[in-house]
Amino acid sequence: MNVRGLRVVVGGAGEIAAPGAPAPAGLLAELYEKHAAGVYGRCRYLLKDEAEAKDALQDVFVKVLGALPEFRAAASPTTWILRIATHHCLNLLRARRALWRDQLRMAQAGRRQETESPDRRELVRLLLALASEEAQEIAVLYFVDELTQAEIAQETGRSLPTVRKRLREFLAGAREALGVELQGGDL
Amino acid sequence: MNLDIGGPGPGCSSMRVRRLLAGELTGVEKERTEAHVASCRRCAAVQEELAAEREALRRDVPFPQFAAAVAEKLAHRPHRSFAARWAPLAAAAGLALVAGTLLVRRPAETDTVRSKGAASVQLFVRDQRGVHELAPGGRVGEGARLLLSLQPAGRKHAAALLVEPGETSVIYEGPALNGTLPQAFEWTGSGVATLLVVLSDTKVDAKSIRSAADAPAGADVLQVPLRR
């Protein structure tokens, strides 16, 4: 459209991009392609609710876009973004910890009648309800993401003994709750 | 009874498989992981899980829906500093911009124009200096692309007009978008002009507006002076 004094640039909004920046329209698409499936998977796993998981997925990417320098500086962007997702979902779960513990109690009651092994990931999710905030994050990194203790220490900035201690606390709480011996990884 | 609740195995790590597929591994670590994954049933199962994750994402949250929802959430985030607020929105909306000074002009209150809430506008410029917000009193260079961003503070309808001596051109008329307008524009005139933005609870007939006084009763009218 060309009116005197004015030229509308159809679709020109996308052309306003800072020099040196990656093609911005492609940035979100790239983040989606590389990381959204993992984040959505993590949100579905922890929240067990599709609508909540979709909402959390969007919230996580809002956080990522607000922290792009940290994201880009991360040694492993995949690990970094999944930690953000885990942290976000654990916060949501903590806000309704009573319900979370009810689910664990139901699983405990169900387990007494089961002969087959339970889904270990689901068991971990429920047992997280008993753990401290720090132990929750470390337990997810260990039992779900399967990072070694040394990798967790490096990733979280905690000492190796602290990581080991939190994992043992998690297992102790889990043993007490389930009344069975538990093992995991090299613990 | 002894239950195994998982954890990293010898050479096995779901995160390492993720990182491999994301192209984050290099050199020996990449070669070692590829060799391990090729012959590990546990890691093969992880790959199947990741494929299922991708399928679930495509099915439940296709990219256009995802991008729109993220942009919407960014637009409704509590306002913080300019840079913190706009840089991520720009990324999501297909923009990248450099922080500048907020530029808002409100007309004096009249019988037909009132100010409400925190409605505001920002004008971004792309010129030879790159992308920046138009500084108060700043000149608009020849060929500069301009993009208007609205913060309508709950207003439903919006109109944006370029008011020049003897000529008014409609830039936008429609819903009061929270964020950037879909089209950029060039000011091809010279001297001085005013970018007039009307935000209203009632529909705005942009063609009937020549100045702030023509805005619907109770509307917010914001003016950005342009000069060349």
Contacts of A59 in chain B (CB under 8 A): 73
- Pairwise CA distance, residues A14 & B90, whole Å: 9
Q: What are phi and psi of A7, to 5 degrees?
A: -130, 115
Could you tell me how many helices (H) and strands (E) chain B has, helices first?
Answer: 5, 10
> How far away is chain B from the Cα of A99, in angstroms, using its nearest Cα?
22
- A57/chain B closest Cα distance in angstroms: 9
Model's pTM, two decimal places? Answer: 0.60
Residue A178 banded pLDDT, cuts 50, 70, 90: confident
Nearest CA in chain B to A182: B3
- As a whole number, mean pLDDT of residues A1-17 equals 50
Q: What is the per-residue pLDDT across B80-139, written as a single tens digit (0 to 9) for each?
A: 443 444 444 454 444 333 333 233 334 433 333 333 456 788 787 777 776 677 777 778
Residue A157, Ramachandran bin (φ over 0: left; ψ between -120 and 50: alpha; else beta): left
> What secondary structure letter does DSSP report for A128?
G
User: pLDDT tens digit string along B56-89?
Assistant: 999 999 988 898 888 888 777 654 443 444 444 4
Question: Which amino acid makes up residue B35?
Answer: A
pLDDT on residue B130:
65
Chain B contact set for A36 (CB, 8 A): 57, 61, 66
Q: A104-179 has which CATH code?
A: 1.10.10.10
Q: Please, are residues B128 and B141 in contact by the beta-carbon 8 Å criterion?
A: yes
Q: Give the pLDDT of residue A154.
A: 93
Over residues A10-53, the pLDDT tens digits come to: 444 444 443 333 334 468 888 999 999 999 999 999 999 999 99
How far apart are alpha carbons A43 and A144 in whole angstroms?
Answer: 13
Mean pLDDT of A81-93: 96
Nearest CB to B186 within list A7, A25, A36: A7
Mapped onto helix, strand or coil, the DSSP state of residue B166 is coil
CB < 8 Å to A40, chain B: 53, 56-57, 60-61
Q: How far apart are CA B30 and CA B33, in angstroms?
A: 5
Q: Which of A1, A3, A4, A6 to probe the B interface (max B CBs under 10 A)? A: A6
Q: Which of A11, A16, A40 has the CB atom closest to B95's CB atom?
A: A16
| Interface predicted TM-score (ipTM) over 0.90 | no
Beta-strand ranges (E) seen in B139-180 are 145-151, 157-164, 167-175, 179-180
Q: Are B171 and B188 in contact (CB under 8 A)?
A: no
For residues A61 and A39, the answer to whether their CB atoms sit within 8 Å is yes
